[in-house]
């Protein structure tokens, strides 16, 4: 800026002196030195003054334009800075959320491994983790088999419908007693994903990670806990709404009648896949193949019987 100012000052000085020199040469010799003649000589610089005034105004316009461009660039930089700060803030929120999520997921697995029930085979011994849930599920299946109506398709109406749900509720509560640390840790993870996830669009991603960790025994245990406990509204909501949870629970081989009881008791809509264990033999071709296999087994038994004789 100092160099530019010096150059501009030098150009103006040279221009004025050159103009004055030209006027003196044009009017030489000077016959009279007076104030009137000096005034006339000064007035002759009017054209030069107009030129510099116009240049000054043009310079002012250029300055305003440059300032405008500078302000525009500053605004762009501020906008980029705000965007970068938002990205950094989002990244920080994601890091915080994922740190909490995976820490709780680790705690969930630890609580699952510490979950225990008393062993009926040996006094004083306890069964832990998935094995404990497996034993509970086996006891529950045996209790349902003892009450044959609980394993048949659900088709009662009126009072019979309420009696069916009551019986299922009674047997479930007697066997699937609540493991508080385990279930509450899961509830905390669900609350974290629903309430504190940095992006609503990413909630299902983390629910999918969580549901993929469940074994079949965990799925069944959690289903009946949601069926029994009024406080597990969030779990019931996610089972009915989350695609990954719906997929996981719908393929858990829970009896359809229990799904129906769940829906009627809590007024939620659940989706359960229909499985056909004999679907490979549903067509005529496979039925014929099954028939030939049976004939071969029968023929082989006949040959073995002859050899034995």
Strand partners, 128: 116
Residue with the bigger pLDDT between 139 and 65: it is 139
Cβ 244 vs Cβ 137: under 8 Å? no
What is the rounded CA–CA span in Å between residue 18 and residue 214? 95
Confidence of residue 25 (pLDDT cuts 50, 70, 90): low
- Give the mean pLDDT of 35-41: 57
Residue with the bigger pLDDT between 22 and 116: it is 116
pLDDT at residue number 308:
41
pLDDT at residue number 36:
57
| 59 in the same domain as 125 | no
In a domain, 99, yes or no: yes
Of 27-41, 143-157, 288-302, minimum mean pLDDT range: 27-41
Q: Is the pTM of the predicted complex or chain greater than 0.85? A: no
Q: Which residues contact residue 5 at a Cβ distance below 8 angstroms, ignoring those fewer than 6 apart?
A: none
In a domain, 207, yes or no: yes
pLDDT digits (tens, 9 = 90+) for 89-132: 888 999 999 999 999 999 999 999 999 999 887 788 999 999 99
What is the rounded CA–CA span in Å between residue 305 and residue 309? 6
In a domain, 293, yes or no: no
| 101 in the same domain as 59 | no
Cβ 203 vs Cβ 240: under 8 Å? no
Cβ 232 vs Cβ 225: under 8 Å? yes
| 142 in the same domain as 37 | no
What is the rounded CA–CA span in Å between residue 180 and residue 164? 27
Check whether 253 has a pLDDT greater than 70: yes
118: left (phi over 0), alpha (psi -120 to 50) or beta: beta
In a domain, 184, yes or no: yes
pLDDT digits (tens, 9 = 90+) for 129-177: 999 999 999 999 999 888 876 665 666 566 788 888 999 999 999 999 8
| 98 in the same domain as 84 | no
| 55 in the same domain as 176 | no
Strand partners, 127: 117
| 81 in the same domain as 206 | no
Check whether 287 has a pLDDT greater than 80: no
In a domain, 64, yes or no: yes
Confidence of residue 40 (pLDDT cuts 50, 70, 90): low
Q: How many domains does the chain have?
A: 2
Confidence of residue 188 (pLDDT cuts 50, 70, 90): very high
- Give the mean pLDDT of 215-240: 94
- Give the mean pLDDT of 168-187: 92
pLDDT at residue number 67:
86
153: left (phi over 0), alpha (psi -120 to 50) or beta: beta
Q: Which of 44, 71, 88 is the last residue of a domain?
A: 88
| 77 in the same domain as 131 | no
Give the residue numbers spanning the domain of 124: 91-278
Check whether 280 has a pLDDT greater than 50: no
pLDDT at residue number 18:
74
Number of Cβ atoms within 10 Å of the Cβ of 153: 9
Cβ 111 vs Cβ 181: under 8 Å? yes
| 240 in the same domain as 189 | yes
| 245 in the same domain as 153 | yes
* Backbone angles phi and psi of 126, in degrees to 5: -130, 155
| 132 in the same domain as 69 | no
In a domain, 304, yes or no: no
Confidence of residue 232 (pLDDT cuts 50, 70, 90): very high
Query: What is the separation, in whole angstroms, between the first and last Cα of the chain?
Result: 119
pLDDT at residue number 148:
74
Mean pLDDT for the chain? 81
Q: Which of 88, 105, 131 is the last residue of a domain?
A: 88
CA-nearest of 190, 189, 196 to 241 is 190
pLDDT at residue number 132:
94
Q: Is omega for the bond preceding 29 within 30 degrees of 0, making it cis?
A: yes
């Amino acid at each position: 800026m100092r160099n530019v100012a010096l150059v501009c000052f030098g150009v103006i000085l040279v221009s004025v002196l050159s103009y004055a020199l030209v006027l003196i040469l044009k009017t030489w010799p000077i016959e009279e030195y007076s104030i009137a003649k000096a005034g006339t000589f000064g007035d002759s610089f009017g054209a030069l003054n107009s030129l510099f005034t116009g240049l000054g105004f043009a310079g002012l316009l250029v300055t305003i334009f440059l300032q405008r461009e500078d302000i525009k660039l500053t605004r762009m930089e501020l906008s980029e800075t705000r965007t970068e700060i938002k990205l950094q803030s989002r990244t920080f929120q994601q890091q915080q959320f994922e740190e909490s999520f995976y820490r709780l997921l680790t705690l969930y697995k630890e609580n699952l491994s510490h979950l225990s029930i008393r062993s009926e085979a040996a006094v004083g011994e306890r069964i832990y983790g998935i094995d404990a849930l497996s034993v509970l599920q086996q006891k529950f299946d045996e209790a349902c088999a003892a009450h044959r109506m609980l394993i048949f398709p659900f088709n009662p109406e009126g009072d019979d419908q309420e009696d069916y749900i009551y019986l299922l509720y009674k047997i479930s509560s007697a066997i699937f007693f609540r493991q508080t640390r385990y279930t509450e840790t899961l509830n905390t993870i669900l609350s974290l994903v629903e309430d504190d996830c940095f992006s609503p669009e990413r909630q299902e991603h983390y629910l999918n990670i969580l549901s993929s960790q469940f074994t079949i025994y965990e799925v069944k245990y959690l289903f009946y806990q949601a069926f029994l406990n009024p406080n597990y509204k969030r779990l019931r909501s996610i089972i009915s709404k989350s695609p990954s949870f719906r997929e996981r629970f719908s393929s858990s081989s829970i009896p359809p009648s229990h799904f129906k009881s769940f829906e009627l008791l809590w007024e939620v809509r659940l989706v359960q896949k229909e499985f056909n264990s004999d679907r490979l033999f549903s067509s005529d071709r496979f039925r014929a193949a099954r028939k030939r296999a049976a004939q071969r087994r029968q023929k082989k038994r006949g040959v073995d019987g002859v050899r034995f004789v």
